[in-house]
Structure 1
Amino acid sequence: MRAYAIGDIHGHLDLLKGAHDRIAADQAVHGPAPVIHVGDMVDRGPDSRGVIDWLMQGQADGRDWTVLKGNHDRMFHIYLTAIDARDPGLRAEFSWLHPRIGGAATLASYGVANAGDRPLAPVFDEAVKAVPQTHRDWLERLPGWHRLGEVVFVHAGIRPGVAMEDQTETDLCWIRAPFLDFTGDHGALVVHGHTHLDAPTHYGNRVNIDSGAAYGGPLTAIVIEGREVFHLTEAGRVPLHPKTA
């Protein structure tokens, strides 16, 4: 089994295209294989709409691309369903439009300006009109996880000891503890994002590929051969070995 995966994008279309360029260079040598995006297309960055448009068009063109639902993608979709709707995974002191969450940047990419600084009702009305129904439907249908061979791809992680078919969407989109603390065997190698690091890191039972594009960091792309993992750089493949204690 060979597959590619891309970490949390957060509205950075330029970084997304760059990651796909690195994947295309690797595929030119090794042949085609599926590409899995582990979620968080939107928020914080400058062009969430462009990211969604580009991914939707790629899928429509028949690219072998899977896009998973991240917590930010889910917050965006839930926000558009009702003025008082909120994601149950979001801490009570925050709203999707809070500066730390980044929803206002997403709405700005759809032409809704200064969403975090204006009354909620007109912003919501403008947002519902500005975001195409095709985007809302696409966000709603995004899967929570994807399995290929001995590898499971997910946005945030999984609840240890629970079968994939029984995982909740909230856990798949939001979980940190106890997933990040678990050192046992998940029955598959779990590739995820959600918890940003300075660089992709292999922990033996999981690989975190969120390298902080939301905060000015790079966007990680990896290739997996069986259970071997390689970081894709401008110079080509770099082995990503399990971290030792």
Structure 2
Amino acid sequence: MTPIFAIGDIHGQIDRLHEALEMIERDDDSDAPVVFLGDYVDRGPDSRAVIDTLMRGQAEGRPWTCLMGNHDRYVLRFLDNPLYDDPQTSRPLLWTDPPLGGRATLASYGVNVGDHRTLTAIRDDAAEAIPQAHLDWIAALPRLHEADHQIFVHAGLRPGVPLDAQAEDDLIWIRKPFLETEHDWGRLVVHGHTALDFPQLYANRLNLDGGAGYGRPLFPALLLGREAFLLGPGGRTRL
């Protein structure tokens, strides 16, 4: 069985990312590919460092695939329109509103996000502060990754829609229709996006968002077919 690692939502937690990568380095299959499930930015303090780390790893030739999450796309949408309110959110919210955590991302790039400043002024400063290489990297992130025994995606898949016809908004935003379906996709769907207290394996999917964006640990997982193992200081633990 071909091994493959996956890491869920990082949300600007660079120390947690380093810990997760160190756990993979200590594993017997450390040379296997790693799929990152998106949401590299927001809430945590070090979004810029997270993106730098992932870009550097890819540039060094590491077998890393980084998918796009809804929070990553917000960076691009904010620069186009600082008043952008994604209709997929559960209620009207701007990226800079506290629940979404965009101000933490901007601050990691050295942008002054004080409450007295207008969003237009913040956007203008962000356009100068965020390296174009970072923006190009985010824009080019794939929305889906397929392996022999798994399908990797940030949020999930819409039931009844062929894989090659899935909408981007669903791939990075979907919750209820995907989370409630018992549909077997033929492969294990590995995703994040919906934060849990701890990763959980279901019959048809694996949710790896253990809530790192809310201060909980970041859990790297090893996939062997439909089997899933979380990595920790003591090695592998089967889910």
| SS class of match (1:74) | helix
Task: Name 1:148's counterpart in structure 2.
Answer: 147
Residues 133 and 202 of structure 1: CA distance in aligned 2, closer, same or farther (over 3 Å): same
Residue type of the alignment partner of 2:42:
D
CA distance in 1, matches of 2:114, 2:198: 32
Task: Name 2:40's counterpart in structure 1.
Answer: 41
Is structure 2 residue 105 aligned with structure 1 residue 106? yes
Deviating above 2 A after TM superposition, structure 1's stretches of 4 or more consecutive aligned residues are: 81-92, 113-118
CA distance in 2, matches of 1:149, 1:171: 22
Residues 31 and 96 of structure 1: CA distance in aligned 2, closer, same or farther (over 3 Å): closer
| SS class of match (1:36) | strand
CA distance in 2, matches of 1:68, 1:115: 31
Task: Name 2:131's counterpart in structure 1.
Answer: 132
Task: Name 1:198's counterpart in structure 2.
Answer: 197
CA distance in 2, matches of 1:31, 1:196: 26
The TM-score, its normalising length taken from structure 2, stands at 0.96
How many pairs does the alignment contain? 238
Residues 163 and 43 of structure 1: CA distance in aligned 2, closer, same or farther (over 3 Å): same
**Distance apart, 1:226 and its partner CA:** 1.7
**Distance apart, 1:19 and its partner CA:** 0.4
| SS class of match (1:41) | coil
Residue type of the alignment partner of 1:124:
R
CA distance in 1, matches of 2:82, 2:102: 14
Structure 1 stretch displaced more, 82-91 or 5-14? 82-91
Q: State the percentage of identical aligned residues.
A: 51
Question: Is residue 79–residue 86 contact of structure 1 (8 Å, CA) maintained in 2?
Answer: no
**Distance apart, 1:227 and its partner CA:** 1.6
**Distance apart, 1:169 and its partner CA:** 0.7
5+ residue gaps, structure 2: none
Question: Is residue 42–residue 72 contact of structure 1 (8 Å, CA) maintained in 2?
Answer: yes
CA distance in 1, matches of 2:66, 2:164: 18
**Distance apart, 1:137 and its partner CA:** 0.6
- Aligned CA RMSD, in angstroms, stands at 1.3
Question: Is residue 83–residue 94 contact of structure 2 (8 Å, CA) maintained in 1?
Answer: no
Residues 160 and 120 of structure 1: CA distance in aligned 2, closer, same or farther (over 3 Å): same
Task: Name 1:30's counterpart in structure 2.
Answer: 29
Structure 1 stretch displaced more, 87-96 or 62-71? 87-96
| SS class of match (1:4) | strand
CA distance in 2, matches of 1:43, 1:116: 17
| SS class of match (1:178) | helix
The TM-score, its normalising length taken from structure 1, stands at 0.93
Task: Name 2:49's counterpart in structure 1.
Answer: 50
Question: Is residue 104–residue 115 contact of structure 1 (8 Å, CA) maintained in 2?
Answer: no
Question: Is residue 86–residue 93 contact of structure 2 (8 Å, CA) maintained in 1?
Answer: no
